Amino acid sequence: MERLTTTGPLSGFRVLELGNFIAAPTAGRLLADFGAEVIKIERPDTGDELRTWRLFEGTTSLLYRTINRNKRSVALDLRTEEGRAAVLDLVRESDVVIENFRPGTLEKWGLGPEVLDGVNPEIVLVRISAYGQTGPMSPLAGFAAVAEAHSGFRDLVGEPDQAPSRAGVSIGDSVAGLYAAFGAVMLLLDRKRRQRPAAPDARVVDVALNEAMLSMMESLLPDYDAYGVLRKRTGGRMEGIAPSNAYTCGDGKSIVVAGNGDGIYRRFMEVIGRPDLADDPGLSNNALRWARRDELDEAIGAWAATKTAEEALAALAEASVPSGPINTAADIIADKQYLARGIVQRFDVDNGEQILPDVAFPGVVPLLGSESIPVRSLGPDLGADTRDVSRCIARRAG
């Protein structure tokens, strides 16, 4: 089967994506963005459940179209002999397989690592699950929300006097997808360096959602183990750093200001007309400022209330105090910085009932050069490439 002609640093590599929802498709999207041919295997009739998540109109969500951009879709039932045989035919001519089923599911379907290795001894298998492929919790089901809580992340999100909150996106899935894509690229590089297949175990990337989030927790563990310090929720602040918070301006818009460096802090206080706080020896370093964070936030909030967000940000930028607006989607679509770098890209998109013209989508990150790589295509219709791929498999078999 001929590989799809693409451009980018990963062109020439073929990836089979067997997962659904967000984690595995995020990994597949990242590889596809940079040129890999990603064939997404979806169950017939219903496809990836993400097709109907956050569905406002039609039959296919823009969430699906976003996360599954630049891919091909093949409809196969992995629980049948025909589906299994078709997947193994594709594995023979692929470089990476990504899956995010509960551990043991691929093995139950006759598609475990040993079987994949038997048809392609160079295949890289990327496995994403709630708790990993080993350990006492590995058999348990779990979405990102559960893994975020298990990692300690959820305990730090929200206001200190309220129950823990969650981020407004599936951050655990997205972080796991980043690690999965990174792991796949690492092993592809290793394969090229070795010039021969690695041992089967050395070609498996095992990403656990809870571990991916734990890796983002900075010094949470050593701070506790060394000093008995348990981090607490601090709302818009960051533990031990001041002043750094969100402030509401006189026009009702909010801004974020990170004025916590010693030199930055002094400039910040001059901007808000409080030289007394700038010169106070009891506020000369971050630890001292953290102890008086409420006093500082009150002073900054009083100043912000006298300015529009635009006025406040202009004054802070003039003094080189790190700050920025708290953007909504409406702000981002019109943002000159994002537009200048091609991070907002527009497409006509089919929601299953109608074509929505000129819709904004996020671009490809990171940039390779001065502008984001153009997105080649949005997430495909269910089974859009089934016939083409099946013909190729049949032609080769014949």
- Residues catalogued as catalytic: 173
Q: Is 323 helix (H, G, I), strand (E, B) or coil?
A: strand
Q: For tokens 């009891």, name the residue.
A: 282
342 C-beta neighbours (distance < 10 Å), count: 17
Instruction: Give the 3-state secondary structure percentages of the chain, helix then strand then coil, rounded to 5.
Output: 40, 15, 45
Q: Is 245 helix (H, G, I), strand (E, B) or coil?
A: strand
CA distance 225 to 246: 31
**C-alpha pair distances (Å), 236 with each of 134, 159, 287, 326:** 37, 8, 18, 12
CA distance 150 to 222: 17
What does the block give as tokens for 195? Answer: 């010039």
Which long-range contacts link 288-294 to residues 24+ away (Cβ below 8 Å)?
Answer: 289/242, 289/243, 289/260, 289/265, 290/240, 290/241, 290/242, 292/242, 293/237, 293/242, 293/243
Contacts of 330 (CB under 8 A, 6+ apart): none
CA distance 18 to 25: 9
From the number of C-beta atoms within 10 Å of its C-beta (0-12, 13-18, 19+), residue 54 rates as exposed
Q: Is 92 helix (H, G, I), strand (E, B) or coil?
A: helix
Q: How far is CA 46 from the centre of its chain?
A: 24
Q: Which residues pair with 39 in a beta bridge?
A: 16, 72
Do residues 137 and 128 make contact, with C-beta atoms less than 8 angstroms apart?
no
